[in-house]
Structure formats: C-alpha cells, structure tokens
Amino acid sequence: MKVIVVGGGKVGRTITGQLAYEGHDVAVIDDQARVITEVTDSYDVMGIVGNGASYTTLQEAGVDQADLLIAATNADEVNLLCCLFARKAGVVSTIARVRNPVYNQEVQYIKKELGLSMVVNPEHAAATEAARILRFPSAINIDTFARGRVEILKFEIPEGSPIQNCSLMDIAKGGKAEVLVCAVQRGGEAVIPNGRFVLKAHDMVSIVASPDHARRFFEEIRLKTNSVRSCMIIGGGTIAYYLAEQLIDEGIETTIIEENMDRCEELSVLLPKATIINGDATNQDVLLEEGIRDVEAVVTLTGIDEENVFLSLFARNVSNAKIITKIDRINYDDIIKSLNLGSLIHPKNITAQYITRYARAMQNSIGSNMESLYSLIENQVEAMEFIIRSDSPVVGVPLAQLPVKDGVLIACISRKGQTIIPNGQSTIEPDDSVIVVTTLKGCNDIGDILKEG
C-alpha cells in the first residue's frame, strides 16, 4: 500500500519503521530537514520536508495515490487538519494521533465528523495497558482478544516454582485450568514450544486462556492474582492522568508525585480522589517519606527514560511493589531487560501495533478479518486474532489435517462466547475468533498460515 506518515518524531518514526518493514510504500513528511534525513537514512522511505497540513506538501508526497494517511505530529489540531485535507484529496483511510484529554471525551464525534478511520491516543493506550497489569500484578504483560474473553499473559517463572523443570505435557495433565503455553523466551531466544518442551526458572512464558482459567492457573502455580490496592505514580504527565483516572475507578488508592507545582494544581482539580504530592522524586527521601516502602505498585512515568530506570531500580530495592517502567527512547533492549525493571511500557510501540494491525486489516483477503495484533516477544513472536468467514480455507478441517506452516500455533478459538483451547480434532467454523501465535512475519489473513499447494 501507499502510506503517508506526517510527523517524524518518536511515534511517527516507530510507525514508519514498522510499515517499511511490512513492505509498504511509505512517504514521511516533517518540517525539520534533520528529522527527514535521519528517517530516510534509517529506512527505505521517501522523505519530504514541509508542513503536513499544507495541501501542496501532501500533493508532493503523493496524496492523490495514497491508500492511508497517518498524522502523528505533536499537535492534535495539525493532525486533524492533515486528515481532513487527505480525505478531501480522496485518501480512503486516515488515522490521527490525538493526545489531549479534552478531545479524548469526544473521540467518536471527531471520528464521525472528520471521517477518520481511527483515532490513536498513545498515552491513553499506555495507561490502559499499565492499569490492566496492575489488576493482575503477577503478569508482566497482558493482551486481550475476543472482546476480553481471551487473554495472553506473560510472566517469569521464579526459582522454586511448581512448574520449574516440568514439560508442557505434564503441566497440561496435572492442572485443572485450561491454558496453553504459546511462547517461551529463554535468554535472547524465542520459541513456540511443543508438549515435550521443559520449562526452566527465569523463562519468560506466555499463556493463552480465558480470564477465569488464567487466574486459576496462577493460583495453582502460587503466583499472586489479586489486584493491587495502592499505587504510587512518579511523574504527573498525560499518561499519569489517564492511569490515575482508571485506578481510582477501580478503587485503588493512588498517589502522584510531580515536581511542577502548576501541574500539581491542575491534577488536584482533575483528580480530586488522588493524593497529589509536589516534590522531586529523584530525591529518595521524598519517596521514602511518601511511603514507597508500603505501596503495592510503583509506576515511573517521568519524561526522562534514564530517570524512570533509576527510580524503578530504587523502588525494587526498597519495596516488594509491582513495578512498571515507561521507556520512550532508550534502544538498549538487552541491557534494559537485564535490569529487572518489572513491566515495561512503550507508548510508541503500542501505537505502532495499533496502526500495523489496521494496515494489515486493509489487506485482508476473502478468508478473514484481522481484529487484533500484538507483539508477544519483540521482533520475534506475534499474536493475531482473526474473525473467520464462511469461505475461508480453514473452515471445517480438523487442525491435525490443516497444512499449517512451521512456526505457527493455533492457540485458541472463541465461539459464541465459549473459549476453546484446541486439539488436533478441533475445527474452525465461520464467525469463530481464532488466535494465532507465530514467528512468521507479515501475516495479513488466516490463509497466510497455510502451506502453499
């Protein structure tokens, strides 16, 4: 597809990289020549220096032939104007990044009136992911499918775990919960395991299950399943606001520590049920005085990645809290993961996943619609949800007889509200929601998992 990305900042660049990797014809617009040079040096894309809200600039980028325009500048109004011009020029689909909490209450109205295909709010998406993890703190990451009826949860096997040194076959026989281990990361290697695979301490394991069975499984292996009751958020930006709003609605005691006095006053008005502390969180005495040793969760959301890293390390050393760390810019993935910073959230990556899913869905063939797309293990394993049509080549065939490519696992089937962990005799039927976990790249349709011929 021909795609135009307006804005070459953190989010725009991440989207550009993912779409270029997927093989799309991408043009990037930014008003800074330095940014365009960096983007075109990094990816095989066309770069245009100019104002993305200018119709002339959009024409230079080929808006007349574009299938999709993504406006991801730092200004919501500019993004909306870009999408409006693109729609007038005939672009079929437009996506706008809209961050302001004021607009968040009017998303459906904005989409309808401007004809937008999608409105993406990276900060709100990141806050929602963090809130989901805090409701189930033993999980490092939780992705939802089938309208919340199915989850994929990632967790680390601790030393002395009941499932340490057990094969997946033995775990399936011995447990009462219906779960499927769909991916394992050991060191830098990611695998989709078979029944003979033996789990080791410190493996990062992803399981697929209904929420009830996931909770039952975690109880069986003696991991915490209850939501946290108190949370300290360090940094009072937009993500902190969205997260605090969700936690307060869940009845979780919430404290925000923010250095800027004016922002503290704003938050006090916006979040009257939260405790807002004006203080410098890099001063450990402030954190200790405000009770970091006693809270059940600490979320570091300052605007500086390095600060978040050090604050999370301090929280880990002085408390038993569930820790969530926001990382926006640091690209030293191996080092970051080795620091044991708890759950990591990357707002730009979450946004890129949303948009990649939409771009793939635009290319769906006759067999299915893509509903969800998540990266379980970055650049190695993906999980996708497809809604199956009646003319799909997978319909009615026992899974044992399906010619599925190597590196593909049909992990779950959701049918009329029922969650099915499939076996070789299971079949896929029309209107099923099917979750596929794979190491293959660029699957757009359920038919892409089958061998040719």
User: Mapping DSSP to helix (H, G, I), strand (E, B) and coil, where does residue 253 land?
Assistant: strand
Residue 192 near residue 183, CB atoms below 8 Å: yes
Say how far residue 271 (Cα) sits from the centre of its chain. Answer: 26
Sole residue written with tokens 């009072």: 236
pLDDT, tens digit, for every residue of 398-447?
999 999 999 999 999 999 989 999 999 999 999 999 999 999 987 888 99
CATH number for 235-345 (one of 3.40.50.40, 3.40.50.720, 3.40.50.2300, 3.30.360.10): it is: 3.40.50.720
| 4-8, 10-14, 43-47: least confident range | 10-14
Q: Where in the chain is the domain with CATH 3.40.50.720?
A: 2-120, 235-345
pLDDT at 246: 96
Tell me the pLDDT of the chain averaged across its residues: 92
**Cα separation, 91 vs 84, whole angstroms:** 10
As a whole-number percent, the residues of the chain with pLDDT over 90 amount to 76
pLDDT at 328: 86
Residue 126 near residue 349, CB atoms below 8 Å: no
pLDDT at 214: 94
Q: Which fold has domain 127-220?
A: Alpha-Beta Plaits (3.30.70)
pLDDT at 332: 65
Q: Does residue 213 surpass a pLDDT of 80?
A: yes
pLDDT at 319: 95
Q: Does residue 350 surpass a pLDDT of 90?
A: no
Give Cβ neighbours of residue 267 (< 8 Å, ≥ 6 apart): 236, 240, 241, 244, 256, 258, 274, 276
What integer is the mean pLDDT of 179-197? 92
Q: What is the model's pTM?
A: 0.86
Q: What is the DSSP string of 146-159?
A: GGGTEEEEEEEPPT
Strand partners, 387: 369, 433
Q: Where in the chain is the domain with CATH 3.30.70.1450?
A: 127-220, 355-449
Q: Does residue 167 surpass a pLDDT of 70?
A: yes
What integer is the mean pLDDT of 240-246? 97
pLDDT at 331: 67
With residue 95 as reference, give the H or E element that holds it.
Answer: strand 93-97
Q: Does residue 271 surpass a pLDDT of 70?
A: yes
pLDDT band at residue 207 using 50, 70 and 90 as cut-offs = very high
- Output the CA torsion 343→348→350→352 (10° steps): -150
pLDDT, tens digit, for every residue of 355-403?
888 888 887 655 668 888 888 887 789 999 999 999 999 999 999 999 9
The CATH code for residues 2-120 is 3.40.50.720
pLDDT band at residue 169 using 50, 70 and 90 as cut-offs = very high
pLDDT at 333: 65
pLDDT, tens digit, for every residue of 283-301?
999 999 999 999 999 999 9
Q: What is the DSSP string of 191-232?
A: E---TT-B--TT-EEEEEE-HHHHHHHHHHTT---SPPSEEE
pLDDT at 153: 96
What integer is the mean pLDDT of 113-140? 92
Domain 355-449 -> CATH class:
alpha beta
What integer is the mean pLDDT of 115-124? 92
Strand partners, 245: none
- Closest to 56 in 3D by CA, of 76, 99, 85, 87: 85
